[in-house]
Amino acid sequence: MADTMRAVDIKNGTGPASSLYINSSTPKPKPRPTDAIVKINCFGLNRMDLLQREGHYPVPPQAPKTLGVEFSGTIESFGSDAESGFKKGDEVFGLAYGGAYAEYIAVSTHMLMHKPEELSWEQAAGVPETWITASQAMYLVGGFTPGKTILWHAGASSVSIAGIQLSRADNATAIYVTAGSQEKIDFCVKQLGATAGFNYHTQNWSWDILKSTCGKFFEIILYFIGQNYFQGNLDAAASDGHIVNLGAMSGTKLPAGVDIGAFVRKRLRFEGSSLRSREEDYQGKLRNTLAEHALPKMREGSFKIPVEKVFPWEEVVKAHQLMESNQTKGKIICRID
């Protein structure tokens, strides 16, 4: 068996999208006792991949340098103490600390799921990171229960696409979104079931939402944007509301004049959340939750997994550039032929 494989690498360690290339001399991973070796068919892109490529993401110490955390493929072999329930040749999809932009990956069997025949390889590769992140942020961190009101920023992002559908299925009273175009808003409302949406380019979303809802505030707000939306979230949050921060795309330094009085006046909670840095057992529990509650709806088609575009992995540069354009409505997937 060959000791090397092909994997996406970065010229000089970090850089722009154009610095990505396929390195045919990458060492093939070796499994730990609890790992499986999976031959990858497809991998999904995530915003963290762009940050890691540029050297701005805190990669967990156990992660390989190769990008990518979600994939679909076929089990090739196992470590000596891998979880039962899987066998060689099984079609699977899963979540990893890194290494998915490659022909092979070593991953804990605790983070693998059997691929339903109803899902394509491309769809399956776009499920793990986004749906588990949405579930974790909404339920475990945000404390969602049926009947609550919820606001998903970046409504056409893959995490929010999952979150909108989870919110609708679990009987949220109102599901609002923000997005950067009317096309994306229409997608969230007409195809995913959001109540309404607001264009952050053309509207003062926090005030317009409150006018539209006759002053009703949101019990849970989930966002990835950072400092640009900080004040608006405080304004839009309900008393005893919970704001869950999943990223900081616009930066982490707050501008002068931010009024934090709402923290006391409304008794707000502002809490950050991440998935990749969590321990394996924690991620495994989230996997089980996804398999139990979301996968049946994916199989029957009531949960949609929109794929914006599939690239051959030789065009990974174009895939990253598309994600950087912020024009997508769903997952970007690379396929390994």
- pLDDT digits over 251-308, tens only? 788 888 899 999 999 999 999 988 888 888 888 888 888 888 899 999 999 999 999 9
Give Cα separations from 168 to 174, 188, 195 (angstroms): 9, 12, 9
In contact, 34 and 110? CB cutoff 8 Å: yes
Residue 51: the pLDDT is 93
Degrees, nearest 5: CA angle 50-31-293: 65
Band the pLDDT of 99: cuts 50, 70, 90.
very high
Determine the average pLDDT of the residues in 177-184. Answer: 93
Q: How far apart are CA 226 and CA 153, in angstroms?
A: 11
Q: Is 157 helix (H, G, I), strand (E, B) or coil?
A: coil
End-to-end CA distance of the chain: 19
The winner for highest mean pLDDT among 66-70, 156-160, 246-250 is 66-70
- Mean of per-residue pLDDT scores for the chain: 92
- The answer to which of 33-37, 87-91, 245-249, 294-298 has the lowest mean pLDDT is 245-249
pTM to 2 decimals? 0.89
Task: State which H helix or E strand residue 135 sits in.
Answer: helix 128-135
- The answer to which of 60-64, 166-170, 205-209, 299-303 has the lowest mean pLDDT is 205-209
